[in-house]
Amino acid sequence: MTNFVVETSTPKGYKLSLQTGLFINNEFVAGADTIDVVNPTTGEKICAVQAAEKEQVDAAVNAAEATFYGKWKNNSPAERQRLMLKLADLMERDAEEIAQIETLDNGKGISLSRNVDVKASVATVRYYAGFCDKIHGAVIDTPGSLSYTRHEAIGVVGCIIPWNFPLMMLSWKIGPALAAGNCIIVKTSELTPLSAIKIAALAKEAGFPPGVFNVITGYGPKAGDALARHPKVGKIAFTGSTLTGRAVMKAAAESNLKKVTLELGGKSPTIVFADADLDKAVKWAHHGIYFNHGQCCCAGSRVYVQESIYDEFVAKFKALADSTRVGDPEDPTTFQGPQVSQTQFDRIMGYIETGKKEATLFTGGKRIGDKGYFIEPTVFTDVTEDMKIMSEEIFGPVVAIAKFKDADDVLKKAHDTTYGLAASVHTTNVTTAIKMSNQLEAGTVWVNCHNVLDYNTPFGGYKQSGIGRENGHYAIENYIQVKSVKMNIGIEL
């Protein structure tokens, strides 16, 4: 049996044993090719992982199907719960190792990996473990018959996860999918596969039967498309760009009309009223855009500030942006690490160059250092809704700040977008907060905060920001199918 373990260390010397194989049917196996994984802090290769294509996708799907119809379909909820809780315990046991892998692979600050991504992922798996024995239908009063519903697993589920929150998005999908009784194939991003492969090893250690939990890495047009098109896959869950989401939906439609949920892009507005606590609003707006290096689908990349406080807000925001600690993600005090890849770095810098022609570059806009993919926190002012930097998702540490007159004006501006993932409102007036929350066309509205996410609160978008909801009990509905049973107890023909 081939050994796919690579021994390496982080730049600060933390030793890691990295699995690099495809995890299919509880074994690490070879792919059709390999993909180099790069450390975004240095731009240097970490290792090469096995890459799946159609043949390997077929193998993973066939293993999942055989297991589902073999034993897993009739497995007890209590057993699923036991396995999920064991997996959560193992993730908690190896929390530091997982955090180090996530920071090495993705570039996010180690404090973020430890205190947000790993902790939240463990909590998410535990939360959904609690649903295993609480998924049930209802008895319905119908004349002449006994009618009831069953909530049944779909069977084989494909989960395509992004590179910005590899571990957290993994937990958001495997939690409800496993709780509902499905077998899963996770397709990681080719940029950040390492934490998901680590969790696959822990799933085997936890005792999940072969075929229940499969993890593959590969390029979207090859592995992702094969998974989305596969006729034996009954459901595909995708998180990523709106453009790729369209391709996933098209592939699902052209194959077997499988069930699809999509969590896609955003251009979320942060709205600051004149009566807001200004210092707190500045801090939350800063967190809203620069958290996770601006690589958030719900990032508050459009900030609208009421005219009377605009100048003061912009001055305070610039001071905070300029003081942001950008640098080595292994340093616990670092807030912003590198962008995930050279491609993403170049894309963001391209938007910055466009912004310089459209608007006023207020601060930032330059590369930091000559190694890795670091970009200064960037602020544009004198912006209008028709500008490219105001209408397109940049997915980096770039924010545009504009003025507004009143609630009607800012609602019109906030809604001038194809997206509807999130928004935030900053005010000390409860009536304003409630009215704005009710009127904003967004899947999540934060009041006096931004980028606050919890595993028990639904998350998803309006308009072109997605279909369906993740987290909370709403996510379970994505992974079940409802059957009606009607028993004749008195109907005569």
- The residues that are catalytic are 263, 297
Reading the block at residue 309, the tokens are 């406080």
- The residue with tokens 């731009």 is 43
Residue type, 344: Q
Rounded Cα distance, 464 and 373, in Å = 29
How deeply is 58 buried, as exposed, middle or buried, from its count of CB atoms within 10 A (0-12, 13-18, 19+)? middle
Phi, psi of 138 (to 5 degrees): -145, 155
- The residue with tokens 């010397």 is 13
Reading the block at residue 275, the tokens are 């009566």
Q: Which residues of 152-167 are buried (b: 16+ CB within 10 A; e: fewer)?
A: bbbbbbbbbbbbbbbb
Rounded Cα distance, 148 and 142, in Å = 9
Of the candidates 330, 380, 255, 298, the residue with the CA atom closest to the CA atom of residue 105 = 330
Helical ranges in 17-108 per DSSP H: 54-70, 77-93, 95-106
Rounded Cα distance, 218 and 18, in Å = 17
CB 334 within 8 A of CB 325: yes
Q: Residue 215: helix, strand or coil by DSSP?
A: strand
Reading the block at residue 388, the tokens are 């490219």
How deeply is 227 buried, as exposed, middle or buried, from its count of CB atoms within 10 A (0-12, 13-18, 19+)? buried
CA distances from 156 to 60, 85, 97, 197, 409 (A): 10, 21, 30, 19, 47
CB 213 within 8 A of CB 225: no
Phi, psi of 418 (to 5 degrees): -85, -10
Rounded Cα distance, 356 and 378, in Å = 11
The alpha carbons of the chain give a radius of gyration, in whole angstroms, of 23
Strands (DSSP E) found in 201-357: 213-217, 235-239, 259-263, 269-272, 302-306
Of the candidates 106, 107, 103, the residue with the CA atom closest to the CA atom of residue 95 = 103
